Amino acid sequence: MLALEFGRLLMEAGATARSVEEVTAQVASGFGAERVDLRVGYASLAITIGRGPNGISRMRKVGPLGVNQSLDYALRTTAACIERGGWTVAEARAELDRLARTSSHHPDWIVAPAVGVACAAFGRLLGVDWAGIGPIFVAATLGQLLRRQLASHHINVFVSTTVVAFFSSTLCGLGARWAGSATAPTAMTVAVLLLVPGVPSLNALSDILEGRPTLGSARAVWVAVILVFITTGIWLAQSLLGEGR
């Protein structure tokens, strides 16, 4: 169960299936397992551990998948230490609980402006004029703040995606008009790039290429649905403002 907990947290932190398998095997081996077989699914993990003629199987539900690189790194480091030996199960569980509780998250006042700068930079690369860069920065920054608020209230991720896309795109369109930008439709699209699921997309491709088509396909479907809702939010905003015609 402890090995499964490591795997679950890794999945929820945005790790690939290969990483989850390696870490769970390290943890189980560190406590004396001779055989470790893990089945990685999109919503659950199942593990079979063997020692001598005996074996046991367990399953664990996986929660919503996100991205937390600091937790990912901490789990890998701890698993490597466990594999080398000298840990008790109680000590490992206490450390796992500590990592899950204290894994760092950057504060909103750093993340939101950074997202705004990134989207504004992409806007310039995609040909948005200088008058549209400021509205992109403001819209993306406020959109990220709204996104975090909706997530903290456990709003459905697809509903949240549509709401944030509509909000950021509309705000950017209004700002671009006020600033006299000639590339308002493009700016409205760029302002929602913060919603593009980059890590899940890469994980989906990685899982498929590494011979896990079921998990990779499930992740790819989730990515595709997110993109549909992003497009819906942009379309609603452009229809409201009469842009993109």
Q: What is the pLDDT of residue 244?
A: 56
Residue the block writes with tokens 């402006």: 113
Whole-model pTM? 0.84
Q: What angle do CA 154, 160, 165 make, to 5 degrees?
A: 155
Extract the tokens encoding 32.
Answer: 């004396």
At 57, which amino acid appears? S
Report the C-alpha gap between 37 and 214 in whole angstroms: 17
On whether the CB atoms of residues 205 and 17 are closer than 8 A, the answer is no
Q: What is the pLDDT of residue 241?
A: 87
On whether the CB atoms of residues 202 and 152 are closer than 8 A, the answer is no
Q: Sheet of 44-51: strands edge to edge?
A: 35-40, 44-51, 54-61
Size of the chain, expressed as the number of residues it contains: 245
For 88-105, the DSSP string reads -HHHHHHHHHHHHHH---
Digits of tens for pLDDT over the chain (245 positions)? 999 999 999 999 989 899 999 999 999 999 988 999 999 988 999 999 998 889 999 999 998 888 888 899 999 999 999 998 888 899 999 999 998 888 767 788 999 999 999 999 999 999 999 999 999 999 999 999 999 999 889 899 999 999 999 999 999 999 999 999 899 999 999 999 999 998 899 999 999 998 888 889 999 999 999 999 999 999 999 999 887 55
Residue the block writes with tokens 């367990």: 58
Extract the tokens encoding 232.
Answer: 């819906």
For 121-177, the DSSP string reads HHHHHTT--HHHHHHHHHHHHHHHHHHHHHHHTT--HHHHHHHHHHHHHHHHHHHHH
- C-alpha dist (Å) from residue 195 to 78, 79, 130, 240: 31, 32, 23, 21
Residue the block writes with tokens 């499930």: 218
On whether the CB atoms of residues 172 and 134 are closer than 8 A, the answer is no
